[in-house]
Amino acid sequence: MAILMNYSTHSLRPIKLTYLPALAKVHDKAHSSMSMIPSLAHALRLQTEAPVSRLERLMLLEMLLGKPREYLLAHDDDLLSEKQIDAFTMLLGLRSQGHPMAYLVGKREFFGLSFAVNQEVLIPRPETEWLVHAAIRLLPRHGAAIDLGTGSGAIAIALAHHRPDVRLMACDINPKALELASRNAQHLLGPDQQIRFQRSDWWEAVPLESLSLVLSNPPYLSMDDPHLMQGDLRFEPRLALSDEADGLGAIQKITEGFVHRAAMGLIEDPGLLLIEHGYQQAEAIRSLG
């Protein structure tokens, strides 16, 4: 049995209903300055309170108009309708306030795949790809693995995409996250995808079945971690970021459950727990095992 740990400095769509209140707040303020936009070219140049890059504006327009970036650049003299102007105004206002691009456009790339995301789940990040790389390499053929706290399903789906022989379960306590993860699996792996999605508070509802490997990117930020008030993390689900204590609560539950199942003979070779955590938590986590 072994524990492999990923070090990270922090855990670190279309318009969805969850954004409508925020959209309304920025609309009136920004509308007067943007309602006269006659073309895409003007939309790409318009000033905002805080900088919004040309690339981000293009991404917002791609989502809003349903046109690829190449088309937008080649037809930047196309006129925008009033509804399109209003929608772009609101999206641009939200972005200038710091709202994550992933939530505004409803997707984020992870391990070469495009995942639908919303405010129910963490935004997948490049540092978490380490877990998938390790699992692809270490899992035996036809092995069984579980992703605890799956969120958007990024880890489990990326693993299934590259290792279709592996038996996979993905768990989350949030039913809305599980619904999104299931849709991502259907879209990226096909209607016959084999990942089993299970609502569970960590190990609570996980069947007593043999596993070769356990993966998780749990909430590991302490309640006073300054990262929680910075960047995208300000808008992401707090439950998926912190245990509102020292950041070790979820990791301890995962580790204890892993050890308990190993004692029951339910952890098969190579018997690995792959878990992402904060770079200052290594010693504390080793003591949990």
Q: So where are the chain's domains?
A: 2-12+110-288, 17-104
Q: Which pair of tokens denotes residue 44?
A: 């790409």
Q: What is the pLDDT of residue 8?
A: 40
Phi, psi angles (nearest 5°) of residue 215: -120, 150
In this chain, the answer to whether the domains covering 2-12+110-288 and 17-104 adopt an identical fold is: no
Residue 270: closest CA among 214, 217, 216: 214
Q: What is the pLDDT of residue 25?
A: 46
Q: What is the pLDDT of residue 11?
A: 30
pTM of the model: 0.87
Look up the CATH number of domain 17-104: 1.10.8
Domain 2-12+110-288 has CATH 3.40.50.150: yes
Q: What is the pLDDT of residue 31?
A: 45
191 Cβ contact list (under 8 Å, min separation 6): none
- Give the pLDDT means over successive 10-residue stretches in the chain (289 positions): 41 40 45 58 81 94 95 93 91 95 98 99 98 97 98 99 98 99 99 98 98 98 96 97 96 96 94 91 79
Q: What is the pLDDT of residue 34?
A: 46
